[in-house]
Amino acid sequence: MAKTRSHTTIPHGLGAAGMLEFFFERFDTSTASDSELDFLSGCSEAATLQAFSFSSLASNAACAIDLARESAHLGACERAGARIDHSTLLFQLASEFKLIGQMMHIASEADWCLRQRLSDRLRVELFRRDQTDEYSSREGA
């Protein structure tokens, strides 16, 4: 971890979103089972919950900034006995945005693969039915 000023930041790409990206780039959706793709497509629900949590964090950040302005501590503020550094807060908010985006990307990709797979199966099934109907009509003639 890299140190900057009085707080610790996670180097670019090493946060939760970076780990998700790393693993998903190595995940072969073409060989994944339907249940695995279904699980990953459910990431959109987790991302929604993460977004609500993020909304609360952002609201708390706004309150902290307002308190800082009111008490004339523009660089940092005292809130519940903890010192909140605005740059750390913004880095955390950016990290949350990236995590939610990565979760939605994974969910979207998995959902697309699952739908494509189901569409292909339907096409094959319809083709088989057409072939069976054609064969049956030849035998009946």
37, 110 in Cβ contact below 8 A? Answer: yes
| Residue ranges with strand state E in 16-115 | 76-79, 82-85
CA distances from 7 to 42, 61, 84 (A): 34, 17, 10
Q: Give residue limits of the domains in the chain.
A: 33-111
Residue 112: closest CA among 32, 53, 52? 32
pLDDT value for 119 = 94
Asked if residue 75 has pLDDT above 60, the reply is no
Asked if residue 33 has pLDDT above 90, the reply is yes
pLDDT value for 31 = 93
Residue 41: closest CA among 96, 100, 99, 109? 109
